Amino acid sequence: MVPVLLLALLSGAPASRAPREQAEEPVCVVAHLPDGVDPTSVNAEIVRRLFLVRQRFWPDGAQAHPVNLPASSPVRERFSRAAFGQGVKDMAPYWNDRYFHGTRPPPTVASEAAVILFLERTPGGVGYVQAPRADSLPSSVTRLFCLAGDTPSTPAIPRPEAPLREAR
C-alpha cells in the first residue's frame, strides 16, 4: 500500500504543474547598482547592451557585472527571448563570434538564489530572477523592471539594431 501511495504522490498533478507555473512567472531584472546610479535611469537598452557585452559600464562609469543562469534554465530562455528576440540556442553563433574576437559571455551561476548572492556581493552586478524571488531582495539589490512572458513589460527591451548573427 505504501509504495502505491508513494507512486501516486510522486506522479501527482502538483508536480506536473510546477514547470508550467514557473514558466508563467514574470522575469525581473535586478541589480546591485553603484552609488550614484538612479534606478530609473537604467533603461532596458542599457541592460540589453550589458548582457551582450557591448557596454561594460554603468552610466556613472562604474564597471558592470552581468550574470546569467545556466543555458538550460527556462528563466534564462524567457529572458533571452524578451531581451534579444532569440532563444539561448539561437544566441550561440553570436557568442562564438564574440569569443573568437576575445569577448567572453557573462558568467553563469547555478540558480536564482546564486544570482541574488552574486549581486549582493558584487557592486555593479546585474541579473534576472522570477518575480516572486524579486519580491524579497537584500537591501543592496534593486528590482529594476519585470518582463511578462516573452514580451517585455514597461520599459520595453528593444530588439537589437542589427541581427545578432552576421553573415561571413
124: left (phi over 0), alpha (psi -120 to 50) or beta: left
How big is the chain by its Cα radius of gyration, in Å? 18
Per-residue model confidence as pLDDT tens for the chain (168 residues): 444 433 333 444 344 444 544 447 889 999 999 988 999 999 889 999 999 999 999 988 999 999 999 999 999 999 999 889 899 999 999 999 999 999 999 999 999 999 999 999 999 999 999 999 999 999 999 999 998 655 444 333 334 444 454 444
Q: Domains (ranges, CATH) in the chain?
A: 24-152 (3.40.190.10)
* In the block, residue with C-alpha cell 501527482: 12
pTM: 0.77
